[in-house]
A and B are shown apart, each in its own frame.
Chain A
């Protein structure tokens, strides 16, 4: 069966520090991968998606970047964190573009102080 791992679960980082969040998927190959962010309250925002190694599409301009160095690995990074980067970050995968195929990770709660 397929599983998605995301870590760490919580993170407190000072303003200006770098960030690296990692997501890995097991039990499937060539998945579509996604990074979402949820700021305080509701509102899940799609940040990046990837359909293959080295292929990254950005949905909104921001202080973050994403990379996909391996087929089942998706990394969210920042060189210098801002206070506004605080939020709940979720990784997800799907095999196809069909909406019902999305599986989400357990998320990373990032607090920038």
Chain B
């Protein structure tokens, strides 16, 4: 499974969009990109995942670069409840174990 690199921390203002970057330059053609987030004192929760095409769900959007070496998680309007550590994980769809890196700690200012 490919290694991912994320900034340690980011800041955002409430009700503004947030773009959380992730680099995965060694990703293989069969690796999916998964995003999880962990709110304070809670277990991680699934946010979104994708392979090649951009993906949207009720929580966020995932923009994947054409060469798949990077991706961006987009929160369209940050709320205070979005303050969390966001993890980007690249792994094979079959036979992969979810291995977490350090993630990006997002703080949201009112």
Contact = CB atoms under 8 A, between A and B. Distances in A.
Chain B contact-residue range equals: 20 to 34
A94 B97 CA distance: 10
A104 B96 contact: no
A46 interface: yes
Interface in A4-33: none
A13 to B, nearest CB: 19
B20 to A, nearest CB: 15
Chain A contact-residue range equals: 20 to 34
A1 to B, nearest CB: 15
B96 A92 contact: no
Interface of B: 32, 34, 36, 38, 41-46, 48-49, 85, 87, 89, 91, 93-100, 102-103, 105
Interface of A: 34, 36, 42-46, 49, 59, 88, 90, 92, 96-107, 109
